[in-house]
Structure 1
């Protein structure tokens, strides 16, 4: 019995993504090509691997067994790639990074310049995806490094299959319209004002709920916005106040919004999350480690730039 390992990868993707369509997207193949590979694999092993009697494609018992071995093969190949980097002076290969706009613009772009100079054979591939969908893509292997944000009041993401590396603490600031007549002396002074709030799952949304709970008020969320650009535009136009991280203020022209001098707002934590290898060594992928180090260097260079943007107006 000869089994083509390339077809094992197709079976592996169908098993972990739950269907032919999603597997095809992950493998950059057409659904027809995936189905053909599965049919050929069934001919090679002489067994039905896919249960086609139901509307949704599922694996037969034999298919689940073979998919388990396919996962081990994928892990062994990943381990082999890590071991082989020890025999070359240059690290190489693609690294798929999932992140959100402020990190992409102010951290990943500078890090990519550094990587291009020091490790030209490492190829960063950026995906703008975050939150639960990004975490799922990391678990499924569609991305290699996930940049997450979380309010500092919440615990660090802890899962047996994932490693979390904290690399930046991004201070929150409260921003107001530029013609705001009476700057607040405390967060409690903002109990009655309209808010341009972040989504509940976002760090800025978590921060507003935390502050409101600490100061005993229910925030009047007039607008709920995902991206900081529209949030700051609404604030600049006088439609409310907002909590934003310092990184977001790098994109605001001087005088467009007023930055409060309140400093008890807290911060968000930025983490780099990677999968933990289930093979023998359990060591971090050296290429991913270099990429994370480059991101850390890029963040260290931000501190001087941020000083001017954090001054109250």
Structure 2
């Protein structure tokens, strides 16, 4: 029985993505091509690998067995690439990074410049995807690195819950094969139209103003919800906006206040908006997520993560000026 390992990779993609269509997207193939590869693999093995009798295609017991073997083969190939890179001293390959816009601008773009000098054989591709969608793409192999954000208070609560979990369930990295590294703690500022600054002295002064709110799942959305709970406020979310340039434009137009991180204020002209001098607003945690086996990440991924860490350190060292003071 001859089994083509390239077809095993197709089967593995269908398994991890939960269907032919999603597996095809992961491999950048057409669903028809994936179906043809699976059919050929069934002829090679003489067993049925997909159950097509349901509305959703599912793997048979034989399909699950082969998909598990394919996963082991992928790990062996990753180890081989790691060992070859150690021998040659070169990191070669393509790495897909998913990130939110401010991370692309302030972390990924500088990292690309560093990689061009230190690792010219690495091809870095950027995808503007974030949140749970990006982490799902990481788990299923569509992206290699995810830059994520979270309100620090929530991150601390998650870490405490993980530390309190029963033995054998708390080590997320060992359980999932996903490594997480905090690279930046980015302080928040509450920004208001310049004409409002003189009358904003406490968070209570913001009780009646309209807000340009971020989506609830974003770090700034989480921060606004936390501040509302801490100060017994009910923010009037007059606008909901994700992109910081648009948020700042709305604030400048006098349409409301907003919570933004310092990184979003980098390069904003003085006086365009005013940063209210309020203590205790908090910060967001920016972290890098990537797959890692027992021996660590693949060399190309390790090089990209290192460049992102350096870019984050440079961004933190440079600081972001508070627009409006």
Please state whether the residue corresponding to 2:212 is helix, strand or coil.
strand
Per-residue deviation, residues 10-45 of structure 1 (Å, max 9, x unmatched): 001111111111111111111111111011000000
1:276 is aligned to 2:299: no
By how many angstroms is 1:276 displaced? 2.8
After superposition, the CA RMSD in angstroms is 1.6
Conserved? CA contact 2:274–2:323, under 8 Å: no
Q: 1:298 aligns with which of 304, 308, 311?
A: 311
Match of 2:165 in 1: none
Q: 1:302 to 1:283 in 2, by over 3 A?
A: closer
Please state whether the residue corresponding to 2:90 is helix, strand or coil.
coil
By how many angstroms is 1:91 displaced? 1.4
Match of 1:222 in 2: 238
Please state whether the residue corresponding to 1:289 is helix, strand or coil.
helix
Match of 1:310 in 2: 322
Aligned residues: 309
Matches for 1:11-26 after TM superposition, within 5 Å: 11-26=11-26
Separation (CA, whole Å) in 1 of partners of 2:220 and 2:199: 21
Match of 2:113 in 1: 113
Conserved? CA contact 1:100–1:130, under 8 Å: yes
Per-residue deviation, residues 86-108 of structure 1 (Å, max 9, x unmatched): 11122111111110100101111
Q: 1:46 to 1:268 in 2, by over 3 A?
A: same
Please state whether the residue corresponding to 2:55 is helix, strand or coil.
coil
By how many angstroms is 1:181 displaced? 5.6
Which stretches in structure 2 are left out of the alignment for 5+ residues?
163-171
Per-residue deviation, residues 91-126 of structure 1 (Å, max 9, x unmatched): 111111110100101111011011101110111111
Q: Determine which structure has the larger helix proportion and give its number.
A: 2
Match of 1:189 in 2: 205
Separation (CA, whole Å) in 1 of partners of 2:197 and 2:11: 63
Q: 2:229 aligns with which of 213, 219, 225?
A: 213
Separation (CA, whole Å) in 2 of partners of 1:31 and 1:21: 5
Per-residue deviation, residues 203-236 of structure 1 (Å, max 9, x unmatched): 0011011111111111111111122121111111
Please state whether the residue corresponding to 2:53 is helix, strand or coil.
coil
Separation (CA, whole Å) in 2 of partners of 1:244 and 1:132: 21
By how many angstroms is 1:304 displaced? 5.4
Per-residue deviation, residues 117-161 of structure 1 (Å, max 9, x unmatched): 111011111111001110100100111111110000013576321
TM-score (norm 2): 0.91
Separation (CA, whole Å) in 1 of partners of 2:43 and 2:265: 59
Per-residue deviation, residues 40-85 of structure 1 (Å, max 9, x unmatched): 0000000111112222211112111111111111111112111211
Please state whether the residue corresponding to 1:273 is helix, strand or coil.
strand
Per-residue deviation, residues 156-212 of structure 1 (Å, max 9, x unmatched): 576321211011010100101122263411212211111111111000011011111
Please state whether the residue corresponding to 2:186 is helix, strand or coil.
strand
Conserved? CA contact 1:173–1:263, under 8 Å: no
Please state whether the residue corresponding to 1:239 is helix, strand or coil.
coil
Q: 1:181 to 1:167 in 2, by over 3 A?
A: closer
Separation (CA, whole Å) in 1 of partners of 2:129 and 2:197: 38
